[in-house]
Chains A and B, each alone.
Chain A
Amino acid sequence: MTEPLVQVRHLKKYFPITKGILIQRVVGAVKAVDDVSFDIYPGETLGLVGESGCGKTTTGRTLIQLYKPTAGKVIFDGQDLTEIKPKTMRTLRKHLQMIFQDPYASLNPRWTISRIIGEPLRVHTITQSESAYLERVENLLETVHLNANYMNRYPHEFSGGQRQRIGIARALASDPKFIVCDEPISALDVSIQAQIVNLLEDLQDQLGLTYLFIAHDLSMVRHICNRVAVMYLGAMAELANRDDLYDDPLHPYTQAQLSAVPVPDPRVTRARKRIILEGDPPSPANPPPGCRFHPRCPIAQPHCKVEPPVWREVKPNHWVACHEV
């Protein structure tokens, strides 16, 4: 088997909860990501799904060191990103890029498109001359199917789908190996989502990119990803190849999530058997003891309330954290 491009080992990210106005005391921690391990292989798309607040975005951001991890390792291309010097990290950053969820908030409204897309070129001194810079920006705009004449316009002149293309062009500028796509289509209209997904797939084929695709739309994840990881309350619940996960989910949380996704076909969707989970996910500041999912789990046993399940490979390439599997 090929070497993984990214290895994540026991990654933790806690955000402190403080009290007091002048003298702030730390009174607890939101355990946004709590001991997560997985690999990402070159050229693949790994989906990361889960409910809002489950820590999927924090995982993505901690992975590319936008947040400093509380503990754990992230090994990218053989180097541990949590240990290398800031200067080395800066040069490595051109290989690690991100596409953000909200195409309205992630572009500076006072900058022209060419300045937005070109910033990585300047930061990493990739292009040496002004003409090379402009040529590269033009190329990038064409790569994402935008008219190169748009270069001197401002973000407000574009629609949501076009802005997301600009965000993608910016992520591609430094010729990255790995892109974290953080819900890149959830702010877009249905007819535009398919355009962006196809573009991401084409770019992956042409440029050999590796994606971590963070999303909550399980139908789209099934379409675009090779493997899928399911998170619940800061921890991994299940990780498997796409079809194994969708056709034979093992974790009761994955089963419930998949059963709740509506299908755009009235006969099929009305015949589907739904597992309706009771209640809401608990707070990550105070996760339940034992298995985090046990208060909502339809098959919970007494020991689930005490012992946290072990993250284990139950079948080749099929990982799950559940006592009852």
Chain B
Amino acid sequence: METILKIENLEVKFHTLGGVVNAVNGISYSVEAGKTLGIVGESGCGKSVSMLSVMRLIPNPPGEITGGRILFKGQNLLEVSEEKMEHIRGAEIGMVFQDPMTSLNPVLTIGRQIGEAMMVHNGFSREQAEKRTIELLNLVGIANPDQRIKEYPHQFSGGMRQRVGIAMALACEPDILIADEPTTALDVTIQAQIVELTKRLQAELGMAVIWITHDLGVIADLADRMIVMYAGYIVEEADVFDLYEKPSHPYTLSLLRSLPRVDSSRGGGERLATIPGFPPDGVTIMLGCPFAPRCNFVVDRCRLENPPLIMVNNDHKAACWVDVNTGKERSL
């Protein structure tokens, strides 16, 4: 399997008035060509920041990538020139943003916005770009594309705008599509449309997809491999089926238990499992595991030493000193 993106020990900090926020603390993972990687975590866990780093879109100041390498097809994106990066951004890595209401320019027509990337990156003429834009809108399921390219974002509904965002990201046939909570602002029926669309496009175009979300439901449907992030660390990484069937980090386990399900009522009166407390602020320097204050499995070692990612099973890693199946400390 070809690895298309490899992130090594990425560290991102933000210099704020309240102190230095450690947003991403030395994470490493890789993405295979044509596969879907799901990254889940709560707000502030560093999932979006790690992706913005790949695109070199971290505003500096206050943000700063303080360490690590981002290898895309073998070259370190943190070292390439801005000119080169401008080409990679859009042409080789496409990105779809969370909010379809604000990620489009309200004063440019849809056709112009989608066509721009192709005119810049592929040297298309206006006519060529328009022709290709119509094809793309067809591909993402927008009816009457030859008329709709002349319209403005406010004339599109939320779901339609997100399709436009996807068409834009796909314009130059990227090798990787990064989708940052692309369905969070949408209703379930529209979300289902976008998920089906992504699956179909991935099958047709063979690109890798990185799908960032806090919704463990949507991603169960899409991902091949999963990463769970907490407080700027990867706490668990596994194949999608293993993650849901054998969660090995207490955080993943609690998240899955705290979710109600639409396909069964667990009997009236049964309470949802909760995770007490709230996530750390990223400023306070913590000794030990960042999840320890909220963890049911905590042992003394957790408060002193932050566990590295440990291989707990075949290709399944978790950052925990405790084996959640037995509740006993791992002998390491």
Contacts and interface: CB of A to CB of B under 8 A. Distances in A.
Interface of A: 51-52, 159, 161-162, 189-195, 197-198, 201, 216, 218-220, 222-224, 226, 242-243, 246, 256-270, 272, 274, 276-277, 280
Nearest to B220: A266
Interface of B: 42-43, 157-160, 187-193, 195-196, 214-218, 220-221, 223, 240-241, 244, 254-256, 258-263, 265-266, 268, 271-276, 278-279
A253 to B, nearest CB: 9
A260 B262 CA distance: 10
A190 B265 contact: no
Contacts of B258: 190-191, 193-194
B155 to A, nearest CB: 12
B263 A262 contact: no
Nearest to B260: A223
A255 to B, nearest CB: 11
Contacts of A218: 188, 262
B240 to A, nearest CB: 5
Nearest to B230: A191
Contacts of A269: 217, 220-221
A266 B241 contact: yes
Contacts of B254: 191
The 5 A-B residue pairs with the shortest CB-CB distance, nearest first, are A262-B217, A223-B260, A260-B192, A194-B258, A194-B272
Describe A's contact surface by its main secondary structure: helix
B189 A198 contact: no
A198 to B, nearest CB: 5
Of residues B160, B187, B217, B223, which shows the largest number of chain A Cβ atoms within 10 Å of its Cβ?
B187
B244 A260 contact: no
Of residues A243, A265, A274, A277, which shows the largest number of chain B Cβ atoms within 10 Å of its Cβ?
A265
A274 B217 contact: no
A288 to B, nearest CB: 16
29 contacts: A51-B187, A189-B279, A191-B255, A191-B258, A191-B278, A194-B272, A195-B274, A195-B276, A198-B271, A198-B272, A219-B260, A219-B261, A219-B262, A220-B260, A222-B260, A222-B265, A223-B265, A223-B272, A246-B262, A257-B188, A260-B188, A261-B262, A262-B195, A262-B220, A263-B261, A263-B263, A264-B261, A265-B220, A280-B190
A194 B273 contact: yes
Contact of B241 (A197, A226, A256, A267): A267
Given A219-B261, A274-B192, A276-B196, A190 B220 contact: no
A260 B195 CA distance: 10
B185 to A, nearest CB: 9
A268 B192 CA distance: 15
A70 B299 CA distance: 61
Contacts of A193: 258
A161 B275 CA distance: 12
A191 to B, nearest CB: 4
Given A159-B278, A216-B187, A260-B192, A189 B260 contact: no
Contacts of A189: 42-43, 214, 279
A306 to B, nearest CB: 25
Given A220-B260, A246-B262, 20 more contacts: A51-B189, A189-B43, A189-B279, A190-B215, A194-B258, A195-B276, A219-B217, A222-B265, A223-B260, A226-B268, A261-B262, A262-B221, A264-B256, A264-B259, A264-B261, A265-B244, A266-B220, A267-B241, A270-B220, A276-B193
Given A191-B274, A198-B271, A263-B263, A280 B214 contact: no
A284 to B, nearest CB: 13
Nearest to A253: B189
Of residues B260, B266, B268, B274, which shows the largest number of chain A Cβ atoms within 10 Å of its Cβ?
B260
Of residues A218, A226, A277, which shows the largest number of chain B Cβ atoms within 10 Å of its Cβ?
A277
Contacts of B189: 51, 256-257, 260, 276-277
Contact of B274 (A198, A258, A272): A198
B188 A266 contact: no
Given A194-B258, A194-B272, A194-B275, A261 B188 contact: yes
Contacts of B193: 276-277
Of residues A189, A190, A224, A259, which shows the largest number of chain B Cβ atoms within 10 Å of its Cβ?
A190
A77 B260 CA distance: 33
Contact of A263 (B43, B191, B217): B217
Nearest to A199: B274
B63 to A, nearest CB: 22
